[in-house]
Amino acid sequence: MHALRTLVATVSATEGERVSARALGLLAGYLADRRWGDPRRGHPVGAFGSAAAELERQMWADDRRAGIAYTAALVGGPALIAHAVEGMTRRAPLVRFVVTAATTWAVLGGRSLTDEAVAVGELLGKADLDTARQRLTHLVGRDTADLDTPEITRAVVESVAENTSDAVVAPLLAGAVAGIPGLIAYRAANTLDAMVGHRSPRHSNFGWATARLDDALNWVPARLTAALAALFAPAIGGDTGQALKVWRRDASAHPSPNAGQVEAAFAGALDVRLGGVNTYQGVPEDRHTLGDGQFPAPSDIHRATRLSVLIGNATAALAVAWSGYARG
C-alpha cells in the first residue's frame, strides 16, 4: 500500500515533467496483481467472456469471414473505446495513471496463476489426487480425470510456463507499447482465443482469425519469456546454457508456435521433461518431448512459480523503462 501511495504522489507531483503516467500505472497495476491477484467478484474479463459467448451465439457460422467480423468487433471495439478514454486523460496525468493501473491489474493474471499452481502442488503433497485433478482444471484445458502425479505435475509446470507469457509478459508489453488500448486489445484477443481459437469442428473456421491474431500478438512475448527463463535459470538451481540448448532444439517440435518456446525454455531451466501426449475431450494430441530430464516432481512446481515471478518482475521493469519517458 505504501508503494502505491508513493506512485500516486509521484504522478501528482510531476505533471509536466518527463515522467510517464503510463509507466507508473503499469508498475502500480503489476504491484496490485502481485499483492491481491484477480478480483473475486465482478471481474471485467469474466463479463467480457459472457458478452463474447452471447455474441458468438448470434454471429456463429462455419465460415472464416464470420469469425473475422466477430474478432474485429470484440477486439477492435473495446480497443477503440479504450483509445477514446486514453485521449480524454491526455491532460490529466493522475487520471491516466489511475485508469492505466486499474486496467493493468484487471488484465494481468500472474498472482492467480502462481496461487493455483501452488495449490495443486500442496494437494499432491497430501496425495489427494482426486482434488488435485479437479483443481488442475482451473489451469489447463486438457482432460484431467485419469492423470497420475507425474502427469498432473507436468500439466501444472506447462501451464505456469505458457501463462507466464500470456497472462504477464504479453499484456505488460502491450501496455508499454500501446497504453490502455494495448492492454484491452491484448486481453480481449487472448480471451477470445481461449474461447474459440482451439481447433474443434465448431471453431476450425469461425475461430481461425482469433487464433492467428493471438499467435501474432504473442510471438514476441513468448520469445522474451523464454529468454528470461534461460537468464534466470541459475536462480532456481538451473543452468542458462542448458535452458538455451533445450529452447533452441525442442521449441519448434511443439504444435504451438508460442507455447513451445516457453515450455521448452522452462523444461531446460528446470532440467525436467515436459511435453508428451495430452487428451482434449477424449482426443489425444502429441505435444512432443521437451527437455532431457525426468518428469517434474511436485517440488518443481515451486521452482517454476519462482521462475515465473522473476520473469514477471523483469518484464515489469522493462515495460516501465520502455514507457517511462513516453509522452501522451
Q: Which three cell numbers stand for residue 230?
A: 534461460
| Number of helices and strands in the chain (H, E) | 15, 2
Is residue 230 within 8 A of residue 247, CB to CB? The reply is yes
Domain ranges of the chain: 2-323
Q: Which three cell numbers stand for residue 130?
A: 482426486
Mean pLDDT, rounded, for 203-219: 96
Q: Which three cell numbers stand for residue 243?
A: 535452458
Task: Render 232-296 in DSSP notation, one character per residue.
Answer: TGGGGT--HHHHHHHHHHHGGGSSSTTHHHHHHHHHHHHTB-EEEEEEETTEEEEEEEE-SSBPP
Cβ neighbours for 48, distance < 8 A, ≥ 6 positions apart: 74, 78, 187, 188, 191
Q: What is the pLDDT of residues 235-280, one digit of tens each?
A: 999 999 999 999 999 999 999 999 999 999 999 999 999 999 998 8
- The 10 Å CB-count burial string (b at 16+, else e) for 20-46 is bbbbbbbbbbbbbbbeebbeeeeeebe
pLDDT at 222: 98
pTM for this entry: 0.92
pLDDT of 289 over the 70 cut: yes
Of 174, 180, 137, which Cα lies nearest the Cα of 159? 137
Q: What is the pLDDT of residues 33-77, one digit of tens each?
A: 999 998 777 788 889 999 999 999 999 999 999 999 999 999 999
| 167: helix, strand or coil | helix
Q: What is the pLDDT of residues 92-138, one digit of tens each?
A: 999 999 999 999 999 999 999 999 999 999 999 999 999 999 999 99
